[in-house]
């Protein structure tokens, strides 16, 4: 006897003693088939056989086999399914959810069960014997709309430069609101001229000049704002090209943010006002060169969570949070204190502060500082609100304009 004949005889002898419940034997295969297969292919066959049985008995399988032999695959039956008439009806091996064995692979519509899916005969999709894949839909949250509020007073040259930097933003705000604390007609002319070339609406909110009332005019601007996210800047701070984009990247629910500021010297400020470019962080004339360095990767990784105050020249908060604390306390008159008070009341309300590092950059133009109130009244208001743990104040954004 030859070697090959001897091997086949041994395998045939083993096949006679095979378990009758073996799925290979039930499907009419001989034992020599799987001996010639790769182990991985053999494992795939066993796995598919287990899925095909689907917990059914041998009698149910035999009935299904008889039905399949009586009913050819290309039966030409028509059905009025989701695609209308003219499509062959899907052939089922049994009345369950699984498709017929031996049918060509079909591409199924995602998101439906087997019973209400319509096969597309023109496409060859994944193996229908494999479990149906469910798509996990990622719900994308749209970026919030931004109202950029610029506070100004009688410096139209600086305001024109700031508006030009807003127009060059990589992420444009939905609207720009100029909060004017009683400036002359020159400022209004700058706003009118800029609005003609702006891609977004530019609003001019003005109040009568009755002294330094920055808190009040900012409240009037926030009351007019229609966007979800409010970013406050001063009319003497030129914005970095990606200023709005950085704040949008750092925007989180139940949080307000403060950006970075670097100071231009008098010489640099004169160059920028004359139409020059903003200096880079490597310029030795900058007072704080590190604050002029922008790095998006570090912006996402490094934040200052300390609860110190903020400056209104570079502040972003949600409009809903501003309404909850009733905005700035309008009892603050004169320079200083109103922005720190707002930050403290937001923290008392459970709103988290985020300090942007290496992002949200503004370049402060050099100018003489406004004198602080000699009586210290603003400090007294701030201390009283902080000691009382106050969240909402009376004289705020809800006051009539």
What pLDDT, on the 0 to 100 scale, is given for residue 370? Answer: 66
What pLDDT, on the 0 to 100 scale, is given for residue 37? Answer: 57
pLDDT above 80 for 189: yes
What pLDDT, on the 0 to 100 scale, is given for residue 143? Answer: 81
CA distance 51 to 42: 14
What's the mean per-residue pLDDT of the chain? 73
Q: Which of 42-46, 85-89, 165-169 has the lowest mean pLDDT?
A: 85-89
Residue 34 confidence class, pLDDT cut points 50, 70, 90: very low
31-35, 140-144, 279-283 — most confident range: 140-144
What pLDDT, on the 0 to 100 scale, is given for residue 335? Answer: 82
pLDDT above 80 for 247: yes
pLDDT above 90 for 282: no
Note the pLDDT tens digit of each residue in 370-390. Answer: 666 666 889 999 999 999 999
Q: Which of 19-33, 178-192, 256-270, 378-392 has the lowest mean pLDDT?
A: 19-33
Q: Phi and psi dihedrals of 58, rounded to 5? A: -65, -35
DSSP 347-382: HHTTPEEEEESS-SEEEEPP-PPPPPPTT-HHHHHH
Mean pLDDT of all residues in 217-246: 94
pLDDT above 50 for 8: no
Mean pLDDT of all residues in 315-341: 94
CA distance 333 to 372: 10
What pLDDT, on the 0 to 100 scale, is given for residue 71? Answer: 47
User: Are the C-beta atoms of 288 and 357 separated by less than 8 Å?
Assistant: no
Residue 254 confidence class, pLDDT cut points 50, 70, 90: very high
pLDDT above 90 for 173: yes
What pLDDT, on the 0 to 100 scale, is given for residue 354? Answer: 87
Residue 184 confidence class, pLDDT cut points 50, 70, 90: very high
The residue with greater pLDDT, 25 or 385, is 385
Give percent above pLDDT 70 in the chain. Answer: 54
Quick one: which of 360, 400, 369 has its CA closest to 148?
Answer: 360
Long-range contacts of 111-118 (CB under 8 A, 24+ apart): 111/135, 116/82, 118/81, 118/82, 118/83, 118/87
Domain ranges of the chain: 146-366+373-387
The residue with greater pLDDT, 382 or 269, is 382
**Helix, strand, or coil here: 183?**
coil
Q: Give me the architecture of the 146-366+373-387 domain, per CATH.
A: Alpha-Beta Complex (3.90)
CA 104 to chain CA centroid, Å, is 41
CA 40 to chain CA centroid, Å, is 43
Mean pLDDT of all residues in 297-310: 49
Mean pLDDT of all residues in 99-104: 45
pLDDT above 90 for 128: no
- CA neighbours closer than 13 Å in the CB half-sphere of residue 111: 2
């Amino acid at each position: 006897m030859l070697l090959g004949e001897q091997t086949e005889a041994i395998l045939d002898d083993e096949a006679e003693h095979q378990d009758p419940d073996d799925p290979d034997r039930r499907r009419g295969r001989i034992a020599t088939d799987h001996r010639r297969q790769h182990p991985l292919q053999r494992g795939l066959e066993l796995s598919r056989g287990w899925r095909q049985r689907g917990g059914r008995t041998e009698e149910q399988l035999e009935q299904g086999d008889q039905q399949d032999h009586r009913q050819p695959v290309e039966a030409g039956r028509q059905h009025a399914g989701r695609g209308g008439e003219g499509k062959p009806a899907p052939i089922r091996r049994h009345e369950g959810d699984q498709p017929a064995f031996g049918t060509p692979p079909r591409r199924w519509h995602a998101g439906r069960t087997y019973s209400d899916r319509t096969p597309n005969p023109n496409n060859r999709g994944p193996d229908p014997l494999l479990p149906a894949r469910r798509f996990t839909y990622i719900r994308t949250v749209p970026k919030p709309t931004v109202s950029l509020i610029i506070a100004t007073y009688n410096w139209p040259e600086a305001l024109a430069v700031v508006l030009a930097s807003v127009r060059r933003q990589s992420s444009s705000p939905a609207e720009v609101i100029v909060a004017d604390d009683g400036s002359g007609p020159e400022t209004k002319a700058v706003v009118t001229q800029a609005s003609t070339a702006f891609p977004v609406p530019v609003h001019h909110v003005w109040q009568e000049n009755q002294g330094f009332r920055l808190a009040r005019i900012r409240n009037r601007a926030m009351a007019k704002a229609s966007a979800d996210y409010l970013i406050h800047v001063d009319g003497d701070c030129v914005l970095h090209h990606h200023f709005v984009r950085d704040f949008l990247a750092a925007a989180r629910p139940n949080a307000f943010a403060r950006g970075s500021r670097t100071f231009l010297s008098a010489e640099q400020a004169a160059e920028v006002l004359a139409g020059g470019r903003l200096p880079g962080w490597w310029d030795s004339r900058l007072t704080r060169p590190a604050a002029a360095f922008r790095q998006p990767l570090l912006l996402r990784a490094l934040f200052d969570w300390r609860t110190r105050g903020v400056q209104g020249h570079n502040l972003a908060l949600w409009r809903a949070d501003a309404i909850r604390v009733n905005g700035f306390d309008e009892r603050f008159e004169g320079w200083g204190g109103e922005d720190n008070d707002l930050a403290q009341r937001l923290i008392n309300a459970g709103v988290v502060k985020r300090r942007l590092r290496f992002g949200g950059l503004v370049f402060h133009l050099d100018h003489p500082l406004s004198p602080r109130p000699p009586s210290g009244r603003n400090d007294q208001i701030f201390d009283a609100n902080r000691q009382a743990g106050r969240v909402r104040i009376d004289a705020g954004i809800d006051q009539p304009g």
